[in-house]
């Protein structure tokens, strides 16, 4: 009897620690598109009231392992972000963690498309060592650009583009 119980506990622990069990904590590209579009509606309607909501680490714009943030491409700065060190940062200071290539300009350029666009870069992932591929969806909302990213090393550019139509 104790042996069966021990085997059951061991099986439960194995399932609980598997990567598929933790996958639910990772945001998806579809969630990112949905959140960015919803955030863009709010920012466009009342930016002066809404922008401070994107600075909250535990606000409605932060979920799972990602968050929505806001750029001011006209002035080249990070307008709203849940990390105080990043808020107000020059967009040209956003650099790929492996290549050192600046990607703030790429985000602003991708936002010019009516449906928004995706930008790929390497970034640190919370709770994981090293740098990981992150793809960020960006959409213009009035005077600002709304962005959220997802860690994913499998989605292709065509798959990402299809999600924004």
% the chain with pLDDT above 90: 79
Q: Provide the residue range defining the domain that includes 64.
A: 29-162
pLDDT at 113: 95
Q: Is residue 100 part of a domain?
A: yes
DSSP state of 26: S
Is there a domain that residue 148 lies in? yes
Residue 16, pLDDT score: 39
Q: What is the pLDDT, as a whole number, of residue 25? A: 87
Q: Is residue 107 one of the residues assigned to a domain?
A: yes
d(CA 52, CA 10): 46
Q: Identify the band that residue 3 occupies on the pLDDT scale cut at 50, 70 and 90.
A: low
User: Mean pLDDT across the stretch 71-85?
Assistant: 97
Q: Is the pLDDT of residue 18 over 80?
A: no
pLDDT for res 6: 40
Beta bridge partners of 1: none
Structural domains of the chain, count: 1
Coil vs helix vs strand at 139: strand
pLDDT tens readout for residues 107-134: 999 999 999 999 999 999 888 899 999 9
- 24 found inside a domain: no
Asked if residue 2 is part of any domain, the answer here is no
Rounded to whole angstroms, how far apart are CA atoms 144 and 154?
A: 29
Q: What is the pLDDT of residue 54?
A: 97
Q: Which helix (H) or strand (E) holds 120?
A: strand 117-124
Give the DSSP H/E element, type plus range, for residue 134: strand 131-141
Reply yes or no on whether the pLDDT at 106 is more than 90: yes
Q: 20 Cβ partners below 8 Å, 6+ apart?
A: none
Establish if 15 belongs to a structural domain: no
Say which CATH number the domain at 83 has: 3.30.450.20
The answer to whether residue 12 scores a pLDDT higher than 80 is no
Does 6 map to a domain?
no
In eight-state DSSP terms, residue 69 is: E
Residue 7 included in any domain: no
pLDDT band at 24 (very low <50, low <70, confident <90, very high): low
């Amino acid at each position: 009897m104790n042996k069966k119980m021990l085997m059951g506990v061991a099986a439960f622990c194995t399932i609980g620690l598997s990567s598929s069990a933790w996958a639910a904590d990772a945001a998806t590209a579809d969630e990112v598109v949905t959140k960015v579009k919803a955030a863009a509606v709010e920012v466009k309607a009342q930016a002066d009231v809404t922008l401070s909501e994107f600075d909250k680490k535990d606000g409605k714009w932060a979920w799972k392992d990602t968050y929505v943030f806001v750029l001011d491409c006209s002035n080249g700065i990070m307008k709203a972000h849940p990390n105080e060190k990043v808020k107000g940062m020059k967009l040209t200071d956003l650099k790929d963690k492996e290549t050192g290539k600046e990607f703030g300009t790429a985000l602003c350029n991708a936002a010019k498309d009516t449906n928004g666009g995706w930008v790929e870069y390497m970034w640190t992932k919370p709770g994981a060592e090293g740098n990981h591929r992150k793809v960020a969806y960006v959409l213009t909302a009035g005077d600002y650009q709304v962005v959220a990213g997802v860690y994913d090393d499998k989605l292709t550019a065509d798959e990402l583009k299809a999600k924004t139509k």
